[in-house]
Amino acid sequence: MNAQTNQVNTLPAFADLTPDLVLGAVESCGWFCDGRILALNSYENRVYQVALEDGPPVIAKFYRPGRWTDAAILEEHAFTMELAAQEIPVVTALSSAAGQSLHHYQGYRFALFPRQSGRAPELQDAATLEWMGRFLGRIHAVGALSSYQQRPEINADTFGAQPLDWLARSGMIPPELQAVYLSVAQQALDAVQQCYARAGSVPVLRLHGDCHMGNVLWLDQGPQAGPHFVDFDDSRMGPAIQDLWMLLSGERAEMQRQMTDILVGYEDFFDFDPRQLYLIEALRTLRLIHYSAWLGQRWDDAAFQAAFPWFNTQRYWQDRILELREQIALMDEPPLWTF
């Protein structure tokens, strides 16, 4: 116990990640900086655009200490490189002259990436959704070829039971709401298990894991036109629908149309098992519980307290209780279409 505590206490802090340290880390890999640095919007890690003396800028991502092992990070890098080798538009980590993509500098672990331009995709456009579906089908076709050994699976335990257990012990929930929240969350997890039971045995594969529109950059013109998938930091094993449901929005009829458009492209490259439609609201529910624990586990990071001042307030937890009750009702509804 004490040894583990001492190890945690010796991990470097993001607060000590100064501009000089960032520049020194980049130059330690053989790139020469011109002194310009721009902090980019990121909470889980720290990400900077660093200008170079000769050539376009690079993106330096400093990994949150203690989150992933080196082996898990390298496993993610290997997956994106595997995708890029198949000419799938993903942004991969740059390798040094020694062939290394993960670097260490003054206790920090970091990787360098090329800067990728682009805008958010227009997910209300049928052609865009079909285009996205084609590339997600290709990503999953490669992802199904082998399994992660170092990265956990997205399931009701890792994204539901474990974070809920942490929240129950954390003291983050206001005492007057704790019993209600935990009771409703457990009811939601029971409903999640029922969704999984209805879906049956669904295969899992290597995923992007966090495929929302913020992690897709769209180019309108040129040979690289179309979607470019970035930030595989949350890549895990899981059902294919995990990378599809976050592209859906609106009322039921609208989501039906969107899913149809996605699958028109997706099934050109990878088969979709429609039983996974039972998991859409279940996975959304797991994400909600996991997100609250994610915020709580990082609450000692000043950046989180500044960016999420509403967390740990009574109103926040009242809203989460209502949200989970709505999810319980949604999980009891039929899937987007019958089969």
Residue positions annotated with a catalytic role: 210, 231
Secondary structure string (H, E, C) spanning 76-140: HHHHHHHHHHCCCCECCCCCCCCCCCCEEECCEEEEEEECCCCECCCCCCHHHHHHHHHHHHHHH
* Amino acid 97: pLDDT: 83
How close are the terminal C-alpha atoms of the chain, in Å?
52
Reported confidence tier of residue 48, pLDDT bands at 50, 70, 90? very high
* Main-chain dihedrals φ then ψ at residue 253, nearest 5 degrees: -60, -35
What is the rounded average pLDDT of the residues 29-51? 95
| Tokens, residue 70 | 């080196």
What's the confidence (pLDDT) of residue 223?
84
In three-state secondary structure terms, 247 is: helix
pLDDT for 98 equals 85
Asked if residues 130 and 261 have their Cβ atoms less than 8 Å apart, the reply is yes
What pLDDT is attached to residue 6?
40
Host H or E run for residue 52 = strand 46-52
Residue 4 scores a pLDDT above 60: no
Give mean pLDDT, residues 46-53: 97
Question: What does 188-208 look like in DSSP terms, one character per residue?
Answer: HHHHHHHHHHHH-S---EE--
- pLDDT above 70 covers a percentage of the chain that reads 97
Overall average pLDDT of the 76-104 stretch: 95
Q: 10: pLDDT confidence band, cut at 50, 70 and 90?
A: low
Whether pTM > 0.85 for this model: the answer is yes
Tokens at residue 80, please? Answer: 């994106």
Instruction: Tell me if residue 264 falls in helix, strand or coil.
Output: helix
In order of 14, 48, 109, 165, the CA distances from 64 in angstroms are: 8, 14, 8, 22
Q: Would you put residue 35 in left (φ > 0), alpha (ψ -120 to 50) or beta?
A: left
- pLDDT tens digit string along 99-128? 999 999 999 999 999 999 999 999 999 999
B/e letters for 58-77, b = 16+ CB within 10 Å, e = fewer, are bbbbbbbbeebeeebbbbbb
Identify the pLDDT of residue 3: 38
Residue type (1 letter), 121: P
137 touches 269 (CB < 8 A): yes
pLDDT at 145: 98
